[in-house]
A = this chain, B = another copy of it.
């Protein structure tokens, strides 16, 4: 297919998605939930068709010699289908953010002004090989009254088409227009490029995937992007920390699931307690085969530690590797985090409240913790329900991108004939 016909096709379906927003703002919570339940049921009853389409994608991926990890992310089985269904039903249980009155202002001239939450409009999702994203994102966007334009990785093309088709069949008997869940119908990379230029038709782009995808989308998009850049998360163990607590938290932050964005990548340790703490910690990390890369002072304490290079301080390992630096003070710890951190999640372990307050105030990140593992930064753990990801941006949404973050607001003004003097 040539680029012109790709563009034509993409624009056509996105226009339909945009048009569907006119209907979406009129729907009640009950109407949206009924559509979500229809989707959940359709996925359950048509699981075989989805798994069959997915098997073809998996076969191709294996034939192309794609990595085991990628093939695993791509693969759908009965259990993962059940996971998709459960996710949709979890979204039904979440409160509807639309219509929430954020602020009411009564003016001396009698105007009554209400700042009310409304859907964002059309949300474009660009993702990699996990086909469940198709369904998870559709559910979150529908619940928040948005239309969604989905564009998954080419290796999951047939899986996404199958899931999309099941959703379409479900929506046919509901009040939600089918175009509210739109899948970009072309496999070509030009489909993404076209999406990123549709200012006025797509209101926001959310890329979901690895660092390079996100960097490329952010650089190319003409539409605002909410992005998760990366998670270089720090834990700082202060001089008066409870060292047993600090050990338990550091082991958890590093080892409980190292491949995720809220796992710790660098540990900062106050010099006064460095020796006692690091010797104990290193012992505990051995059980998880954690490779340690330390600064000079760390190496002087931990003979097995490799030397950390400048590059280590801003690397998101997503692996059983930990960078360790010994610092002179809270200020040095904050300086390090401000220089190398990615604005995701940062923790201090200490017992003195005034120091903790300075850390919480001075560290600039989506989530700052005192005496807890950074692994808690996600929508579910924060009590916000399911989410699209964690934003490391500062505008519109920061931290978990849950239902509320998929909305905007408008001012509704009730008058009785007021005119401006």
Which A residues are within 8 Å of any B CB, using their own CB?
21-22, 25-26, 105, 107, 111, 113, 118, 120-121, 203-204, 224, 242, 245, 248-249, 251-253, 256-257, 338, 360-362, 364-373, 375-377, 381-383, 393-396, 398-399, 408-420
A383 to B114, CA, bound (A): 12
Q: Give the residue name and chain of the B residue nearest to A420 (CB).
A: B375
Q: Are B113 and A364 in contact (CB under 8 A)?
A: no
Q: Give the residue name and chain of the B residue nearest to A370 (CB).
A: B414
Provide the residues of chain B in CB contact with A396, threshold 8 Å: 395-396
A121 to B251, CA, bound (A): 33
A417 to B350, CA, bound (A): 10
Min Cβ gap A417→B in Å is 4
Instruction: Give the dominant DSSP class at A's interface.
Output: mixed
Provide the residues of chain B in CB contact with A362, threshold 8 Å: 22, 25-26
A373 to B412, CA, bound (A): 13
Q: Are A398 and B410 in contact (CB under 8 A)?
A: yes
Q: Are B419 and A408 in contact (CB under 8 A)?
A: no
Provide the residues of chain B in CB contact with A382, threshold 8 Å: 105, 107, 113, 411
- Given that A361-B26, A372-B413, A399-B411 are contacting pairs, would A420 and B366 also be in contact in the complex, using a CB cutoff of 8 Å? no
Q: Give the residue name and chain of the B residue nearest to A393 (CB).
A: B224
Question: A224-B393, A368-B410, A372-B419 are known contacts; what are 18 more A-B pairs with Cβ within 8 Å?
Answer: A25-B364, A107-B382, A111-B372, A203-B395, A204-B394, A224-B395, A242-B417, A245-B417, A248-B417, A248-B419, A367-B413, A369-B413, A369-B415, A371-B418, A373-B420, A394-B408, A395-B396, A398-B408
Q: Are B410 and A366 in contact (CB under 8 A)?
A: yes
- Given that A111-B376, A203-B394 are contacting pairs, would A410 and B419 also be in contact in the complex, using a CB cutoff of 8 Å? no
Provide the residues of chain B in CB contact with A381, threshold 8 Å: 107, 111, 420
20 pairs, CB–CB < 8 Å, chain A vs chain B: A25-B361, A26-B362, A118-B364, A203-B394, A204-B395, A224-B224, A248-B417, A249-B419, A253-B419, A257-B420, A365-B410, A366-B410, A368-B411, A372-B413, A372-B417, A372-B419, A376-B420, A377-B411, A394-B408, A395-B408
Q: Are A419 and B366 in contact (CB under 8 A)?
A: no
